[in-house]
Amino acid sequence: MLLYLSRFTQGEKFHEATDFYAWKGYDFDILNELDDADYIRQGNHPSRSKSVYITESGMEQAKELLSKYGISDWKQG
């Protein structure tokens, strides 16, 4: 959920974007678990990349958690 809330795009207007990324500022074991669950993708060389790609299932899971805990999503336009 935190990766989702801190997401960014690469060169696209945020409100038009379909691909979202987040910085890897979290424990690597947790990131590996999220990658194994197909919520994020770390790329071919995870130790070299500084950001992760948030998959569609990762986006859906984050939105479900936001709803469950009553947290509003933010919009940037």
pLDDT one-digit tens code per residue, 14-73: 778 889 999 999 999 999 999 999 999 998 888 888 999 999 999 999 999 999 999 998
Distances (CA, A) of 6 to 9, 28, 42, 44: 10, 17, 16, 22
The yes-or-no verdict on residue 74 having pLDDT over 90 is no
pLDDT for residue 77: 46
The predicted model scores a pTM of 0.86
The whole-number pLDDT of residue 57 equals 98
Q: pLDDT at position 75, please? A: 67
